[in-house]
Amino acid sequence: MHDDGSPHDGSPHDGFPRDWFLTAAERGNDATRLPVWSRGNRVRPLVDGATYFPELAAALASAGAGDLVLMADWQGDPDQRLTGDGPTMAQALTDAARRGAVVKGLVWRSPRELGRLSPTRRRHLAQRTRGGAQVVLDQRVRNSGSHHQKFVVVRRAGRPDDDVAFVGSLDPAYSRRDDADHAGDPQPLDFGKAYGTHPSWHDIHTELRGPVVADVETVFRERWEDRAPLSVLPWQAFGDLVRRTGRRLRRRSSSLPPQQPAPPPVPGEGGSCAVQLLRTYPRRRPRYPFAPDGEFSIAAAHAKALRRARRLVYVEEQFLWSPQVVRVFADALRAAPGLQLVVLVPREPKRGGIAAPPLLLGQWRALRLLRAAGGERVHVFDLENHGGEPVYVHSKVTVVDDVWACVRSDNLNRRSWTHDSELSVAVLDEVRDPREPADPAGLGDGARRFARDLRLQLVREHLDRDDADDADLVDPGAAVEALHRSASALDAWYGGGRRGPRPPGRLRVHRDPVLPRWRRVLADPVYRFALDPNAPRRR
């Protein structure tokens, strides 16, 4: 059931806290075919790659004649296994096509390929899908930008109840297939010495069922049907033509079959989630036909939700940059004296070297701004596994007062909010959570089942808790105290020479970056113009 922004069934008081969602006017993109939001959906969080990849493998394995499989990703490795002894990503797409499914994919094409004649990882995925599957490399972005959306859609011919979409921050790529124990992926990437030989990776995706599946399909179709050239760099075209390894890359996208009606609402309380798809598209030349002036609904939605925050904002974030972005959180801290902000970030950048100082500079500035606004109400942690190695936090989650939850592809930086393409999922559960406090913010919206369950699931993993062991985590204030107790106990264990049993939990209090002034001066241009560029907006 799609909602055009008008009261549901004619009543503005049907229990749905619609004030958390953007209206059509607030989204500010009249060219897109997306509805403002949809209702009657089931949303399931898939925490860590070892949870998501088997679900993706099962969905692809069941795709056959007449079905439609659509994929968009920032990065993909063709030989990344989706399960321990199961298919690789390229095999799964190829097998679906050979069974008769229409398989289309969009993977961002990096301009840094330059004139290389040997295939890169993204190129490999486009080359190694067979059986009629078409995966193209997509460079239709703003200069120095990227397509950072990560989603898969599977539509079933004649079985709309089985339609499914997966949206979040997980790419089908090396190092992502880690589980809650965080021992690392058997197919690892080198993250540098700090992360060991099998780097640990924490991440999250969502499984969507119901009418919203058609909305995710629309996001793909709008990009696929963009008539701008897939690649505009002449040296890449030359490399495509003369490459001797693999088959030539397609330089034009083919047509898609007509879009089928949206799946029906999921019946009962299983379909209790209203979902709003949020996006970033910059202003580009030539313009995106579906977003001629860009779309910045991710930024607008966070600003709107944070204006309602009163008790707890819980964030997991790969990066924490950009005064322009962090100021939205700082304003919320100043406006609500009782508001607590909890942020989980990686302990170290993924790699050191010359890129590390600009990365740390952005975080240093962001944390200074947050602490100036919230002081001791700002709580920043990082994560390690039981072997003491840091876990790379790639998850991107925002939960506000256990009401509004957003599972994101975007990072909290200017690049993601203005410059790259992004797709994030905002969820409002129509079922209230009865546990106390039943209305943490005190605004009458009530805690919502999906948002609260998501926050508790993530926190339980980080504290080494069993599924039902969260009685002291429901209340926002008590949850912050529990996080600090666990992190402080682990820090004290290390400080005491690691004597005795290791305390439960994997959280550590994050140390703010320390950069001498001369390093900040040298790092600033790289940070400002390369790592975190800004695309100008009309609004």
* Listed residue (11, 6, 28, 45) closest to 273, CA to CA: 45
* Cβ-based neighbours of 500, under 8 Å, separated by 6 or more: 493
Q: Rounded to two decimals, what is the model's pTM?
A: 0.94
> Over its length of 539 residues, how does the chain's per-residue pLDDT go in tens digits?
555 443 333 334 457 889 999 999 999 999 999 999 999 999 999 999 999 999 999 999 999 999 999 999 999 999 999 999 999 999 999 999 999 999 999 999 887 654 443 446 666 788 889 999 999 999 999 988 999 999 999 999 999 999 999 999 999 999 999 999 999 999 999 988 889 999 999 999 999 999 999 999 999 999 999 999 888 776 666 666 655 334 445 556 688 999 999 999 999 999 999 999 999 999 999 999 999 999 999 999 999 999 999 999 999 999 998 999 999 999 999 999 999 999 999 999 886 667 789 999 999 999 999 999 999 999 999 999 999 999 999 999 999 999 999 999 999 999 999 999 999 999 999 999 999 999 999 999 999 999 999 999 999 999 999 999 999 999 999 999 999 999 999 999 999 999 999 999 999 999 999 889 998 999 999 998 888 988 876 54
pLDDT of residue 87: 96
Is the separation of the CB atoms in 144 and 530 below 8 Å? yes
HEC readout, 81-96: ECCCCCCEHHHHHHHH
Is the separation of the CB atoms in 58 and 133 below 8 Å? no
Measure the CA–CA gap between 215 and 38, rounded to whole angstroms. Answer: 8
Burial class (CB in 10 A: 0-12, 13-18, 19+), 404: buried
pLDDT of residue 119: 46
pLDDT of residue 250: 56
Measure the CA–CA gap between 270 and 430, rounded to whole angstroms. Answer: 11
Measure the CA–CA gap between 394 and 358, rounded to whole angstroms. Answer: 18
Is the separation of the CB atoms in 299 and 418 below 8 Å? yes
Domains belonging to the chain, first-starting first, are: 30-260 (3.30.870.10), 272-531 (3.30.870.10)
What phi-psi label fits residue 6: left (phi over 0), alpha (psi between -120 and 50 degrees) or beta? Answer: beta
Torsions phi, psi for 421 (to 5 deg): -85, 135
Cα within 13 Å of Cα(78), Cβ side: 18
pLDDT of residue 253: 64
The tokens for 442 are 């005190």
* Cβ-based neighbours of 511, under 8 Å, separated by 6 or more: none
Is the separation of the CB atoms in 462 and 506 below 8 Å? yes
Measure the CA–CA gap between 277 and 409, rounded to whole angstroms. Answer: 11
Measure the CA–CA gap between 322 and 365, rounded to whole angstroms. Answer: 8
* Listed residue (59, 106, 66) closest to 83, CA to CA: 59
Q: What is the DSSP letter of 137?
A: E
